[in-house]
Homo-oligomer: A and B are copies of this chain.
Amino acid sequence: MATQTYEIQSISRLKDAVALIWADGEKDVFHHIWLRDNAPEGRHSVSGQRFVDLLSYPAEVRPISVEVDWTGQLCIVWWPDEVVSRFDPAWLKENSYSGPAPVGDRWKRTLWDSSGPFDWSDAPTYNQVSNDTEALRLWLGQVSEYGIALLRGVPVESGTITKVVEFFSCVHETNYGQVFDVRTVPDPTNLAYTTLALSPHTDTPYRDPEPTIQLLHCLVSSGQGGDSVLVDGFRAVEDLRLRHPQLFEELVRWPVRFSWGDGDTELSAEAPMIRVDAQGRVDRVRYQNSTMAPMRVPDDRMLSFYQAYRAFSELIAGSSYQAILKLEPGDLIMFDNRRVMHGRTAYTEAGERHLQGCYSDMDGLHSRLALLTKE
């Protein structure tokens, strides 16, 4: 990576801030309080953590002197405690807040529809991602960018799914255990354990926090049907926002309660179906018809809520959004549970279908991806 050098041409003192004019003529303003709070001398040498508390200096902290030292760094002597701080110009440029905020975060996002996120036949194998960090990086990158990735050739052996999680992070255990089995059982406490079709949904919206990654590993698939149905929830949300902005707002606004229990568990959590971040970008979808509790909104808003809920449901159920993937033994899908909805077609009692599932979290995936990207 080429290192760009930044040169401070001149400095002007403002009332509450320092303005830097760069060699290219651009100008950045940094407030005194911000500079002092981010002084490198206030960071622990090994952990990089800040150990100087905001309250250890007054709100009116300001430079006694500001200059560019002989190494090109910005050198400030502070009033009142005469502490000296030296700032690297490249660091200042990188953390400048004078311009408009960068849109989105560092991870690229690509929306997809029924044609799927990418060509499934390009999926890497278990051996590739376990032996080759570049293959692992590309595979984790797909989950980050598309919200989903496929892995092939995963040993058809119960429990292997946790080894896949260990490639990047750790298992997020829930009431369903470290690993759970999705197959038909008598007296099912969850619709997942029947042969019924499941319409696309996100998992465990009745948890707070809910696991943000799901993995499903196919061990047996001998019957007709049981195809996986996958929907990019962010794509559906963006289309809802474009076509029906008012309905989109209804789903952002009203919290929905989801509840589920069996004899050993009684979970309940409330959050809107769609959440947007501070920049207005959708960052979370919670959608599971089967566990949605009776809705509570003011009387005169119930119809508009249902209108919005129906419009969103229609998008998700539409063939233009649903990508179909038949998992074969040894296939494993991993997806962002805040973004990608998964379901299945019904399957015959005659055949057998056995998936093993487990949860993890996107923050751990992004941590590993950040480290692999640096290498």
Where the two chains meet, the residues of A that have a C-beta atom closer than 8 Å to any C-beta of B are 16, 29, 31, 33-34, 37-38, 44, 46-51, 53-55, 59, 95, 97-98, 101, 105, 170-175, 187-191, 196, 199, 207-210, 212, 253-255, 260-262, 264-270, 272, 277-278, 289-292, 294-299, 302-303, 306-307, 309-310, 313-314, 317, 361-364, 366-367, 370-371, 374
Contacts and interface: CB of A to CB of B under 8 A. Distances in A.
A159 to B, nearest CB: 17
Nearest to A296: B97
Nearest to A16: B303
A314 B53 CA distance: 11
Copies of this chain in the oligomer: 2
Contacts of A210: 209
25 contacts: A31-B302, A31-B306, A34-B294, A34-B302, A44-B188, A44-B191, A46-B187, A47-B188, A49-B190, A49-B290, A50-B291, A53-B289, A59-B307, A97-B298, A97-B299, A105-B270, A170-B173, A174-B364, A207-B363, A208-B362, A266-B367, A267-B363, A268-B366, A269-B363, A270-B278
A199 B55 CA distance: 11
Contact of A189 (B47, B196, B289, B302): B47
Contacts of A188: 44, 46-47
B50 A290 contact: yes
Contacts of A254: 278
A215 to B, nearest CB: 15
Given A34-B306, A207-B361, A268-B370, 17 more contacts: A31-B303, A33-B306, A37-B306, A50-B289, A54-B310, A55-B310, A97-B297, A97-B298, A97-B302, A98-B299, A172-B173, A209-B212, A255-B278, A267-B363, A267-B366, A269-B363, A272-B278
